[in-house]
Amino acid sequence: MSTVYWYSLIVIFISAVIVFILLFFVSAPYGKFLRKGWGPVIRSKWAWSMMEFPSPALMIFFFLISEEKNIMRVIFIVFWLSHYFHRTFIYPFIQPGRNKSYPLILVLMAFIFNCLNGSVNGYGVFHLLKYDQSWIFSWQFAGGALLFIVGFVINKSAHRIFNRIRMENPEGYVIPRGGLFDFVSCPHYFGEIIEWGGWALMTWSVAGLSFFVFTIANLVPRALSSHTWYKNNFPEYPSERKAVIPYIL
């Protein structure tokens, strides 16, 4: 398993580089970038649930088969599931507005990645690495947990604002306002990047680092594309607003 684990990590890091470069040339074809030519589609509510499912399922699996279930490992799975239980079983079905189409090829690609990512993080945290109770007092855990919570709050707050905007404007897109939307076009991406940076720090693991790197590679180009789209479609779009990191990017 250790050999598979390390090869899987290499695949994630290489995939991050490929995805980062590719997304500057090809916008991910869903949401406002949805377009023909990407094969069969399914409804977005089911797409999100299907492609995210491996992440909570595999983490639970590796936790259950682990020999030692101490307080630190319980805390780690609670953090992980706090994000992925919501993302898999709640978020897809509380979004207001039209149940848009989502390319099946993207669902399959995300499903495969989440199988890989869920496996390396689950195996790494619950089987390969050792955490005793003193880890809770380490600066890595304290700092990582704080970052994760901050990112979680930013991400969920942004999605609540998105849902309100969609309910108020069911016919089309408008300039999002309120919260961190007054500073960046994609605060939900900003929050998620912070979350998984926190996870990488609190677990102090290569698996966590690989997920953090992939999250940046995946979300930063998407944020830049969304930012450009808003500026192109709304002449009055706030010029001082950045794409994903307030005052910086």
Q: What local confidence, expressed as pLDDT, does residue 99 receive?
A: 66
Distances 51 to 8, 169, 206, 214 between C-alpha atoms, Å: 19, 28, 23, 16
Whether 83 is covered by a domain: the verdict is yes
For the chain, percent of residues with pLDDT exceeding 90: 71
Q: What local confidence, expressed as pLDDT, does residue 61 receive?
A: 96
Whether 129 is covered by a domain: the verdict is yes
Whether 170 is covered by a domain: the verdict is yes
Residues spanned by the domain of 130? 2-233
CB burial of residue 134 (10 Å; 0-12, 13-18, 19+): exposed
Distances 88 to 47, 85, 141 between C-alpha atoms, Å: 10, 5, 26
Whether 65 is covered by a domain: the verdict is yes
Higher-scoring residue by pLDDT: 16, 44: 16
Residues contacting residue 59 through CB under 8 Å, at least 6 positions apart = 77, 80, 81, 84, 118, 121, 122
166 pLDDT exceeds 70?
Answer: yes
- Model confidence band, residue 98 (pLDDT cutoffs 50, 70, 90): low
Whether 246 is covered by a domain: the verdict is no
Whether 157 is covered by a domain: the verdict is yes
Number of folded domains in the chain? 1
Whether 239 is covered by a domain: the verdict is no
pLDDT, the chain, mean? 91
Report yes or no on whether pTM surpasses 0.85.
Answer: yes
Do 118 and 61 meet the contact criterion of CB atoms below 8 Å apart? no
Whether 112 is covered by a domain: the verdict is yes
Q: What local confidence, expressed as pLDDT, does residue 51 receive?
A: 92
DSSP-derived 3-state class of residue 41: strand
